[in-house]
Structure formats: C-alpha cells, structure tokens
Chains A and B, each alone.
Chain A
Amino acid sequence: MPDSRQFTSLEKKIIHELQQDLPVVDRPFAVVAEKLKVSETELLEKIRELIADGTIRRFGATLRHQRSGYDANAMVVWEVESERLDKVGAIFASFREVSHCYQRPALADWPYRLFTMIHGRSPQECRQIAKRMAETAGVESYSLLFTMEELKKTTMVYFSEVG
C-alpha cells in the first residue's frame, strides 16, 4: 500500500476541521484559521498543499443526491477471470453511467471480483446498462444488487484525537 506519510499536528487539525462544514460567510477560511490559531494565509497554503498531494481528493460541496434525476442505482458485481481484470475494469470505467469501479478479492462463496456502481432513471434502465456492459466486455456472470434502503450515509471524521 502506497504513500501515507506522517502529518504534522497542524495538518491533522486542518484535516479534522475540514471534515466539518465550512460556514457560508464571505471569509470562511478566516473563521477556520481563527479556530485553529493560525493565519488565514498559512491555512490557505496548507489546504492547497493537501489538495496538490492528493490527501484531499476533492474540496467543495457534497450534494444530498449525487445524481439529480437518476433515481435508480445498482451495485453490479462481475465474475471475471484474473487475467482479464485489467481489460474489463478499463472497459467498465469508460461507461459514463458508471460512477465507481473497484477490484476486490474473491472469497469461498463470493466469486465476483469487479464492483461497479451504475446509475439510471429506473431499475429497468440499470438492467439495460448492465447488459450493455456485459456484452461490451464479454462477461457472462454478474449480479445486480439494487439498493433497498439507505441505512447510513455520513462523512468520515479523521484524526478525531486532535480535534
């Protein structure tokens, strides 16, 4: 596993604070800086660094529903031979209806190695998207796991010990 590094106490405090919700005021970073007892300039520089090195993957607004108008989504899991994972993963990633695509391990009763989240306007459309993906990539065994109920959706709070 690559590239986790040591973070300074200030960096941890900044990361922890930015997991919360930035106030909607003309100088939001000044409010955060004051709380952390650093200058606004230093805070802005640190945030830009953390974005540049990929520690912060995205900085901005998280919407309640990530895809407006796309009511149905399904996790689709795919049984793919090890030697074809690279190719099939790349094909699936190229579909605009796919928001996430991961490779995961196979277990005794779990043969599916590729996981995709697909978004459509209806369950029927999700099935059609999955069928198209299966045909394009030449995968025969797959399963759609529709969301029945959202039980929790929240933001991880990192470094809570310094907050």
Chain B
Amino acid sequence: MKERNETNAQLDDMDRTILNQIQSHFPVETRPYLVLAEKLGCSELEVIRRVQNLKDREIIRRIGANCNSRKLGYTSTLCAARVPAHLMKRFVAEVNSYPGVTHNYRREHNYNVWFTLIAPSEQDIDRILDGISEVTGVSEIISLPAERLFKIQVDFEV
C-alpha cells in the first residue's frame, strides 16, 4: 500500500495529464501519440517515451479495449462462496484456472471468496460452477447475476 503512494508521488503533471487523457480518450487515429502531443504542447516522441515509461513502471497495465460482455453475447455473473480455511488454497487455484474468472477477492464475510465469471451462456456458467464444486468439495457457491446497472465508472482522475 505504501509502495503505491510512493509510485504516485513520482508522477509529474505531464504524466497525470497523459493518464487522464488516455484512460478513456485514447485517440483512435493513425498517429494517436501525435494527436495527444498536439493537445499537450510537446513532441510525439516525448509522449511515446512517457507512456512506455508508465508501462515499464506498471502504472499502466494495458492499452486496449474494454468490452461490454453482454453486447458480445456473453453472460456474466458475480459469484460468492463459503470456503473453509483448509480448502482455500485448492479452491482459489481451481477458480482462477478459468479464463472467464477475471476478478477474484477474499473478503471479510461468511461468503469469503467473491469472483466474477464470464461465459458464452448461462448453461456454461452453471456447468463451470458445478465443476468447481465437484473438484474442490466447496458446495456453497451462489451466483448473483446483475439485474440492473445503476453505475459503472470506467475511469478515474489521477
């Protein structure tokens, strides 16, 4: 946690401006960094150098598309499981082995493991969860698919 604050302290104003621009408004143009450079009043090379540096420092995890899984015809859900301590390691390894599991957290609750699961259909979701129960011996897994989205904030001011 402390390490993160130190990392952020090392960002200068230009880094912050770049990060705030390219989270949601990465130019879909032939020379995106030239477009940014013109906005920022610096050279294209300077922007490229800084973005590469931010990636090297792992402040930027990835540059690409974040898709709406439902538009792509996929189904997604949030799952919660009650996992006894002695089964935790095995359960986490099994759950994480699925590419459709994109986020997984241990939380302070009776339902102590929470993960998101994306799959082509609801049948696939059921099949995957049954499979996880069978392999790990953890039977208490609930699936709570979103019925309605009130808010999803996709970028954050740095």
Contacts and interface: CB of A to CB of B under 8 A. Distances in A.
Interface of A: 1-5, 7, 15, 18-22, 24-30, 40, 44, 47-48, 50-51, 53-69, 71, 75, 85, 89-90, 92-93, 98-105, 107, 110, 114-115, 143, 145-160
Residue among A1, A63, A149, A160 with the highest chain B CB neighbour number at 10 A: A63
A25 B9 CA distance: 27
24 contacts: A4-B72, A15-B67, A24-B51, A27-B30, A28-B32, A40-B30, A47-B28, A54-B71, A58-B23, A60-B22, A60-B24, A61-B63, A62-B23, A62-B60, A62-B63, A64-B58, A102-B78, A102-B150, A104-B145, A115-B144, A146-B108, A150-B105, A152-B104, A158-B72
B59 A63 contact: yes
B70 interface: yes
A93 B148 CA distance: 12
Interface of B: 1, 4-5, 8, 19, 22-26, 28-34, 44, 48, 51-52, 54-55, 58-74, 78, 80, 92, 95-96, 99-109, 111-115, 118, 142, 144-156, 158
Contacts of B103: 152-154
A68 B19 CA distance: 12
Contact of A104 (B24, B70, B144): B144
Contact of A4 (B23, B70, B96, B102): B70
A160 B65 CA distance: 15
A159 B33 CA distance: 29
Q: Which 5 A-B pairs have the closest CB atoms?
A: A18-B65, A60-B26, A93-B151, A4-B73, A101-B150
B64 A21 contact: yes
Given A51-B28, A63-B60, A110 B142 contact: yes
B66 A64 contact: no
Given A27-B30, A103-B148, 18 more contacts: A3-B70, A24-B63, A25-B48, A30-B30, A55-B71, A57-B66, A60-B25, A61-B63, A62-B61, A63-B61, A98-B151, A101-B151, A102-B150, A151-B106, A152-B95, A152-B102, A153-B102, A153-B103
Contacts of B58: 64
Contact of A64 (B59, B74, B118, B146): B59
Nearest to A64: B61
B147 A152 contact: no
Nearest to A55: B71
A71 B65 contact: no
Contacts of B63: 21-22, 24, 28, 60-62
Contacts of B99: 156-157, 160
Residue among B44, B66, B80 with the highest chain A CB neighbour number at 10 A: B66
Given A154-B102, A157-B99, A158-B74, A27 B150 contact: no
B153 A102 contact: no
B114 A105 contact: no
